[in-house]
Structure 1
Amino acid sequence: MSKRIKVLLVAAMVGLAMLFAAACGGGGDVGDTPDGAEDGDGSPQYGGTLNVALSSDAPRLDPGLSSSVYDRYVFQSIFDKLADIDENGEVVPVLAKNWDVSDDGLTYTFHLQEGVKFHDGTDFNAEAVKFNFDRNTDPASPRRGELAAVKEVTVVDEYTVEVVLSEPFAPFLSILTDRAGMMVSPTAVEELGEDFANSPVGTGPFKFESLMKGNNITLVKNEDYWQDGLPYLDSIVFKIITDTNVTATNLKSGQVDISDWRFPTKEIANFENDDNFVIVNEASQNYNGFYLNISKPPFDNKHARQALDVLMDREALVDLVKDGAATVAHSYFSPGCFAHGDSDIPPEPSVEKAKEILAEGGLEDGFTFTYKTAATPEQQQIAEMLQSMFKEAGITMNIEQIEFGTLLDQTIKGEFEAAALGWSGRPDPDQNIFDDVFTDGSMNYSRFSHPEIDELVTAARKELDQDKRKALYDDAMEILVDELPYIFTYHENNVICHSKNVHGFTYISDGLIRTAEIWKD
């Protein structure tokens, strides 16, 4: 007997949008209001362009191959998912209108929305879902680790698909709220091949129109969107602005309507005191820091890694770089995660201790390494602070700033000694740790391998009892804070700013901007 989990799709709450006063314009005229609504009464209006500041380019607009959070910002508008998370962190249905789960937790039967089409006219149905699962479990896809438990996908009928897991997998539904659950057009993938990322096709509220590398990405309204009455906007323009101080200036001038989660923290108080803007400053799921390539010198020596860890004054980084809009980090789990524990408390900074560690590892004279990071003012400030901290123990850190897409590509290929890349975080702890530390995991850029870690993180994703899962993650972190394939700096808050003529924005803990219900005065 199976237990029925009925999850009903929540209708668009168009009448409950927050009432904001009109403020700075941001490009694009606003058109008619929906039937029965009057201008100025707080009801959603149709038309206009939403200008979004994106603090780095989106390198690969293909959910099956993407490894960047900046891609995910754009994906929210182009692709619908089988499920999503709501403002309470609960998994809710989207393209899957409901699902059944067998008592043994191995079989998921998804019942799909009917009458949905991809932007190219291809029908969304069970065959399309199977195509996406098959594509995302291919060895070439970064999604393969997320979906490693998927054993078989079967088309039951046109709008029903059955997914059988090889073993219980606690994060499965949560994983489908992100890239692994985004549905791409099978027709477009087969026709475009590797070029799909330059002309992505989904079922979402907006269609891809154009991309100017390093400048902007433009989307236009999907006139045939399956959710009645949505979207409200005519278009969205993602403006690539790597200097967040320029983002603040463009918000003031009206050239930008809303920022991504990297709004400059030094401007928070200024914008909070300006009635033309709304600031969202909330805890997130993320972690920041840098990968160490342990497959080659100097970081094949664990003592070199441990010395960096104990030299870092993370409180200073949080205070000076993030203006307090972050918490110090020493683990993959932010304070809101059930797996969070004492491992997230970093060691006290100590030059004396660092020198002892270096001596134990035969590195009495220190060592030299290159730290690769994105070419942004904030990342430069972080790098220079770290450089100064490490110098006190005779460690020379050379700084190389490069474009984010290049940094990501070089890190994936192992062409680095230290690479500053963070993780935007996911609701389930498995998605924040497994692929980073499991041998040959899709995001194991450090080239780390430890049999006991493999056993612990594998057991944690099979375990359905939350308390037992936490105990397994505690055991894993006890090893990882000693091995240190990754050095943590902080968990930063999501800080998003938008003008008060932007309505319908709902904050979700992943910090991404869902645009279907956003409208402008």
Structure 2
Amino acid sequence: MAYKTKVFAALFMSLLLLLTGCGNNNSSSSGAQDSQKASAPVKDSGDKTTLTVGLDDDPPQLDPHFSTAAVDRQVFHSIYDKLIDVDEKLNFVPQLAKKWDISEDGKTYTFYLQENVKFHDGTPFNAEAVKFNFERMLDPNAGSPRASELSSIQTIEVVDENTLKVQLKEPYSPFLAALSDRAGMMVSPTAVKEKGADFANSPVGTGPFKFVSRVKQDKIEVEKNADYWGGAPKFEKIVYRPYSDENVRLTNLTSGELDIISKVPPKDVEKLKTDSNIKLSEVGALGFQGLYLNHKKAPFNNKALRQALDLVIDRDAIIKVALRNTAVPSAGAIPPDSWAFDKNIKPTKKNVEKAKKIMADAGFPNGFEFTLQLSPKPVEEQMSQMIQSMAAEAGIKVKLEIVEFGTMLDNMDNFKFDAVRLGWSGRTDPDGNIFALYHSTGSINYGYSNPKMDELLQKARVETDQAKRKDIYSEATKLGQEEVPYIFLYHELDYKAYKNNLQGFKHIPDQMMRFHDVSFK
């Protein structure tokens, strides 16, 4: 125990010295803007008609059918409606579908749609529009990440103007959960046909706010949809601003430029709890955080080297030092608040000697090296430096490469990486986490393939008994610990911080901000 304490203390002190010189190192274009804003923050104008939102990154994609970043969804919830939404307890609640029926065999879903709803461009929302959206996502030539979420669909039948019947190939337990996220977000068929690939630059939905304009790395503006079917929202306009630098994001909240921020720096959680001008809300998040690995090339096409890296990481130290105890260690893709979470499966414990033996047995007695890409954020740099230091104990050399968020996603899509420090925001059904990551066709799978894993995850999808599904997911999680397709680090707690004169905000565990019912006092 004494040895472990000394090692931890030495690591902590070395990090403090290291971070003194690099805490403000931000090479992204947004970083230059952030620095300017920090030196001359804009004070509260007293405007009660405009909401200004601070995001943790610039959304790469404004078309929900092709989005792969969590930050995109923060803006989506203003522009688009979904067929189904979730409440604060993650129960499914009506949105564009006012109700639905499921057949006894679990293969037929009948949706009864809201009437007299129109897209922002005047196009009627109806069963034909839903059919168009489903077919767009399922089109094999389109390459939508949503295709895997809707792959169980066999036929789509327009019963009448406001009734749609969907026949599945087999029972698919996560179907409603998929429709409560991007696969359920409805885009205007007219706008898609007219704009083609340019749709993402001027998106059209049915949501409470209409898209107005965008300046990349600066702001996205949306305006009030006065004719919104659910009643006009309270704000005339919302301005979303990206702040990749977490310190600047917080500064602009406390100084008055921002009204609410999507993520709170872990080091500032305790401070905000005592700030009388700010409200701090906390929920358990649905996702996971860790390292994505490229399985298509060395070194991580070698299971032994994946296992070795997994074994050198001290998750408790990362959570204590970098995250200030705002997270819990992760053993897999399913978070503690999920019904499918298995408390008997424990996170990997640091074991440098075992890591060295695994590498030696695999023919790498002197370790190996790789590049870890990370976002230009202080906490990301601190975590990555800790991982670099821990890996060095076993002879694993880690080169750190700071990459702008959108470029990082492009690199991942094109397999131009060894490893990436990034997580997954999570889904209401565990399938949305574990299938997406582990299945060979998963939307966030980067080359990992195991027929046994595929079989387990397919089996979980068609099983309608929740207890049996949980058992299957436990087996898949254990297999994942052996195969190490992804290095799990932690499950974060989600914090939203906002001015104390903001009212009506509901903190949903999916981490997405919804502003239809929000206003200033």
Both proteins in one fold, TM over 0.5: yes
| Cross-structure match for 1:334 | 335
- Counterpart contact for 2:494–2:511, Cα < 8 Å: yes
- Give the match's secondary structure for 1:288: strand
| Cross-structure match for 2:505 | 505
Structure 1 residues 76-115: Cα deviation after superposition (integer angstroms, max 9, x where no partner): 0000010100011100000111111111111111111111
Amino acid at match of 2:288: Y
- Report how far residue 441 of structure 1 moved: 2.3
Q: Does 1:405 align with 2:415?
A: no
- Report how far residue 248 of structure 1 moved: 1.4
- Counterpart contact for 2:207–2:225, Cα < 8 Å: yes
- Counterpart contact for 1:25–1:501, Cα < 8 Å: no
Structure-to-structure mapping, 1:16-165, within 5 angstroms:
26-27=44-45, 29-30=47-48, 48-139=49-140, 140-165=143-168
- % identical equivalent positions: 48
- Give the match's secondary structure for 1:152: strand
- Report how far residue 266 of structure 1 moved: 1.4
- Report how far residue 440 of structure 1 moved: 2.9
- Give the match's secondary structure for 1:422: strand
- Counterpart contact for 1:107–1:162, Cα < 8 Å: yes
- Give the match's secondary structure for 2:148: coil
| Cross-structure match for 2:256 | 254
| Cross-structure match for 1:477 | 477
Which structure features the higher share of helix residues?
2
Report the more deviating stretch, 296-305 or 336-345: 336-345
- Counterpart contact for 2:245–2:376, Cα < 8 Å: no
- Give the match's secondary structure for 2:118: coil
CA distance in 1: counterparts of 2:519 and 2:78, whole angstroms: 14
- Report how far residue 344 of structure 1 moved: 4.9
| Structure 1 residues 516 and 27: alpha-carbon distance in aligned structure 2, compared to 1, 3 A threshold | farther
- Give the match's secondary structure for 1:190: helix
Q: Does 1:203 align with 2:221?
A: no
Amino acid at match of 1:172: F
CA distance in 2: counterparts of 1:346 and 1:89, whole angstroms: 26
Structure 1 residues 470-504: Cα deviation after superposition (integer angstroms, max 9, x where no partner): 11111111211111010011000001100011111
| Cross-structure match for 1:37 | none
Show structure 1 runs of 4+ deviating over 6 A: none
- Counterpart contact for 2:154–2:169, Cα < 8 Å: yes
- Counterpart contact for 1:329–1:344, Cα < 8 Å: no
CA distance in 2: counterparts of 1:49 and 1:82, whole angstroms: 27
- Report how far residue 26 of structure 1 moved: 4.4
- Give the match's secondary structure for 1:478: helix
| Structure 1 residues 27 and 514: alpha-carbon distance in aligned structure 2, compared to 1, 3 A threshold | farther
CA distance in 2: counterparts of 1:210 and 1:431, whole angstroms: 31
| Cross-structure match for 1:244 | 246
CA distance in 1: counterparts of 2:242 and 2:415, whole angstroms: 27
CA distance in 2: counterparts of 1:51 and 1:79, whole angstroms: 19
- Counterpart contact for 1:343–1:478, Cα < 8 Å: no
Structure-to-structure mapping, 1:219-368, within 5 angstroms:
219-228=222-231, 230-260=232-262, 262-342=263-343, 344-368=345-369
CA distance in 2: counterparts of 1:123 and 1:321, whole angstroms: 50
CA distance in 2: counterparts of 1:343 and 1:217, whole angstroms: 44
Amino acid at match of 1:520: F
- Give the match's secondary structure for 1:333: coil
CA distance in 2: counterparts of 1:136 and 1:236, whole angstroms: 28
- Report how far residue 29 of structure 1 moved: 2.3
Structure-to-structure mapping, 1:179-218, within 5 angstroms:
179-218=182-221
- Report how far residue 207 of structure 1 moved: 0.5
Q: Does 1:455 align with 2:455?
A: yes
- Counterpart contact for 1:62–1:196, Cα < 8 Å: yes
Report the more deviating stretch, 240-249 or 182-191: 240-249
| Structure 1 residues 399 and 518: alpha-carbon distance in aligned structure 2, compared to 1, 3 A threshold | same
| Cross-structure match for 1:17 | none
Amino acid at match of 2:47: D
| Structure 1 residues 85 and 398: alpha-carbon distance in aligned structure 2, compared to 1, 3 A threshold | same
- Report how far residue 346 of structure 1 moved: 1.8
| Structure 1 residues 314 and 155: alpha-carbon distance in aligned structure 2, compared to 1, 3 A threshold | same
CA distance in 1: counterparts of 2:455 and 2:130, whole angstroms: 31
- Give the match's secondary structure for 2:130: helix
- Counterpart contact for 2:334–2:341, Cα < 8 Å: yes
| Structure 1 residues 25 and 234: alpha-carbon distance in aligned structure 2, compared to 1, 3 A threshold | farther
Amino acid at match of 1:247: R
CA distance in 1: counterparts of 2:57 and 2:316, whole angstroms: 26
- Report how far residue 172 of structure 1 moved: 0.7
- Counterpart contact for 1:331–1:343, Cα < 8 Å: no
- Report how far residue 372 of structure 1 moved: 0.9
- Counterpart contact for 2:50–2:237, Cα < 8 Å: yes
Q: TM-score, normalised by structure 2?
A: 0.90
| Cross-structure match for 1:11 | none
- Give the match's secondary structure for 1:421: strand
- Give the match's secondary structure for 1:188: helix
CA distance in 2: counterparts of 1:359 and 1:343, whole angstroms: 30
| Structure 1 residues 165 and 26: alpha-carbon distance in aligned structure 2, compared to 1, 3 A threshold | farther
| Cross-structure match for 2:486 | 486
- Report how far residue 282 of structure 1 moved: 1.6
Amino acid at match of 2:261: S
- Report how far residue 27 of structure 1 moved: 4.7
CA distance in 2: counterparts of 1:433 and 1:26, whole angstroms: 43
- Counterpart contact for 1:201–1:208, Cα < 8 Å: yes
- Counterpart contact for 2:345–2:478, Cα < 8 Å: no
- Give the match's secondary structure for 1:151: strand
- What is the CA RMSD across the aligned residues, in angstroms? 1.3
CA distance in 2: counterparts of 1:78 and 1:28, whole angstroms: 25
CA distance in 2: counterparts of 1:271 and 1:294, whole angstroms: 41
Structure 1 residues 392-435: Cα deviation after superposition (integer angstroms, max 9, x where no partner): 11110001111111101111111111112210001100000112
- Give the match's secondary structure for 1:81: coil
Report the more deviating stretch, 352-361 or 450-459: 352-361
Segments of structure 2 that go 5 or more residues without pairing to the other structure are: 1-41
Segments of structure 1 that go 5 or more residues without pairing to the other structure are: 1-23, 31-47
CA distance in 2: counterparts of 1:27 and 1:115, whole angstroms: 38
- Report how far residue 291 of structure 1 moved: 1.2
The alignment covers a number of residue pairs equal to 478
- Counterpart contact for 2:208–2:228, Cα < 8 Å: yes
Q: TM-score, normalised by structure 1?
A: 0.90
Structure 1 residues 245-281: Cα deviation after superposition (integer angstroms, max 9, x where no partner): 1111111111000010x21121122221121111012
CA distance in 2: counterparts of 1:290 and 1:373, whole angstroms: 10
CA distance in 2: counterparts of 1:338 and 1:453, whole angstroms: 20
Q: Does 1:395 align with 2:396?
A: yes
CA distance in 2: counterparts of 1:506 and 1:471, whole angstroms: 33
| Cross-structure match for 1:44 | none
CA distance in 1: counterparts of 2:419 and 2:275, whole angstroms: 40
- Give the match's secondary structure for 1:194: helix
